[in-house]
Structure 1
Amino acid sequence: MANKICIIATSCDKIGDEPTGAWAEEVVAPYRLWQKHGYSVTIASIKGGKVPVDPTSMAAPHATKEVEEFLLDDEAMKGLMESTPLADIKAADFDAFFLAGGHGTVGDFPNDANLIALLEAAAAAGKVIGSVCHGAEGLVNVKGPDGKPLVAGKRMTGFSDKEEVAAGKDKVVPFLLESKLREHGALFETAADLWAPHAVADHKLVTGQNPASSSAVAKLLAEALSS
């Protein structure tokens, strides 16, 4: 029976007056890789319906080959245009949950009650949980089965403070993701160079640092499912 993975995306399309949303590569690269593995992939979002996609991520030089292929895949595009509302997603129905990034996540991931409850149920059931880049915003307030922060004592990564500064968003976001995760006890790792791919697996928690890490973290998640 094929593994079932739920990709969770933001429904937030602005930070202040600036258009944002999900980062295309962070949805598309994992989707394409898992599709080729024969997995069943569902795209969900906080509110459901059309997932807002950061326009910058759809243009050169950020629009990757996977993004271009995805745009030509009617079934995949339908998932993005008609995403499942997160309230309709149940932990028992999937083998893994993956939090796609993009700056939109800073507006709705950290404090969404449905997302927190879903991930806590998934963790309690021993499901694989993954994220890439700002997708780790969704892990900030999630508790593990022991009542401690899910990330406490875990090797992990996500969009680094230095990358946030380099992106010019450090004064716009509510908090710096790396710093917040470290406050919660995460053993946070980053690549030596800005924007370089970096992915980390710590048992059932699989994380990627930035957009360039999308394929690498998707491969690690597939390995975690098969182990």
Structure 2
Amino acid sequence: MAGKRILIVSTSFDKIGTSDEPTGLWIEELAAPYYIFKEAGAHVDVASIKGGRVPIDPNSLGDGAVTEHVKRYHEDLELKKALEKSKTIKEFTGKYDAVFVPGGHGIVFDGPNDKDLIAFVEKIWSEGGVVGSVCHGPAALVNVHAPNGEPIVKGRKVAGFSNSEEEAVGKTKYVPFLLEDKLKELGGLYESGPDWQPFAVADGKLVLGQNPASSPEVAKLVLAAI
């Protein structure tokens, strides 16, 4: 894996829609892939949609959400700095072998229509690179198209935060669309496991996972697909 380059792209959105409820990146969904990629020998860069401080969902820092990867993040001054003073996608040049979009509710709001993110993912895809994402992250792929003009999820196995999980966290009426429904609408062959349990699927160069617990498995499948 030495010499392989992966760009992780985070949301910059910090509120649930127009409410005052804080959201942003779900830190496990960035931390787990980040460390798994690096331990495999890949070069990993971290960007965000707007640059600057990446908002982190406070719920992802709570006791029930703290995994070994999150604990490692808390001690990692280098990664913390990368998230505090993140660069935009345009600031990263050269060829990347994969792009990875972590979730958190923020990405549902700023990911789907961000032209820079769409263009970057489409470039990776057209060059035969890997597109990976987890939980709400696949929301950033709903307007991404293959060179033939079709959605990259069309006709492929996909996963993402399920309708039942969205209902369980009480955000159904706040998000612009339900990810499970949207992926199906675009022609994706949606699959899921039990709520909150690890579940990930790889279909060629597209690798997606269902929820925060799926982050390590998605990362491993991304490495296998590169």
Q: TM-score normalized by structure 2?
A: 0.96
Equivalent residue letter for 1:194? D
Q: Deviations over 1:109-137 (max 9, x none)?
A: 00111111111111111110000000001
Show the 5 A alignment for 1:8-19.
8-15=9-16, 16-19=19-22
* Alignment match, 2:118: 116
Match of 1:150 in 2: 152
Name structure 1 gaps, 5 residues minimum. none
Question: What's the offset of the Cα at 1:68?
Answer: 1.0
CA distance, structure 1, for counterparts of residue 140 and residue 170 of structure 2: 22
Partner of 1:30: 33
Contact 2:161 2:211 (C-alpha < 8 Å) held by counterparts: yes
Paired position in structure 2 for 1:209: 210
* Alignment correspondent of 2:133: 131
Letter in 2 for 1:50: R
Identity of aligned residues (%): 51
Letter in 1 for 2:42: Y
Q: CA deviation at 1:88?
A: 2.3
Report the secondary structure of 2:136's partner residue.
helix
Match of 2:77? Answer: 74
How far did 1:93 drift? Answer: 2.4
Distance 2:125 2:41 in 1: 24
3-state SS of 2:34 partner = helix
| Structural mapping, 1:1-227, within 5 Å | 1-15=2-16, 16-90=19-93, 92-191=94-193, 193-225=194-226
Structure 2: 5+ residue stretches without partners: none
The 8 Å contact of residues 195 and 210 in structure 1, kept in 2 or not, is answered as: yes
Task: Give me the CA root mean square deviation.
Answer: 1.0
Question: Cα deviation per residue 1:49-78 (whole Å; 9 max; x = unaligned)?
Answer: 111000010111101111111121122222
Counterpart amino acid of residue 191 in structure 2: E
Cα distance in 1 for partners of 2:175, 2:74 equals: 29
How far is the alpha carbon of 1:87 from its aligned partner? Answer: 2.7
SS at match of 1:18: coil
Equivalent pair of 2:192/2:210 in contact (CA under 8 Å): yes
Q: Equivalent residue of 2:36, what SS?
A: helix
Conserved? CA contact 1:32–1:70, under 8 Å? no
Aligned residue pairs: how many?
Answer: 223
Shift of 1:47: 0.5
Tell me the TM-score normalized by structure 1: 0.96
> Does the CA contact (< 8 Å) of 2:31 and 2:69 recur in 1?
yes
CA displacement 1:133-191 (0-9 Å, x = unmatched): 00001110111111111100010100011111111100110110110110000001000
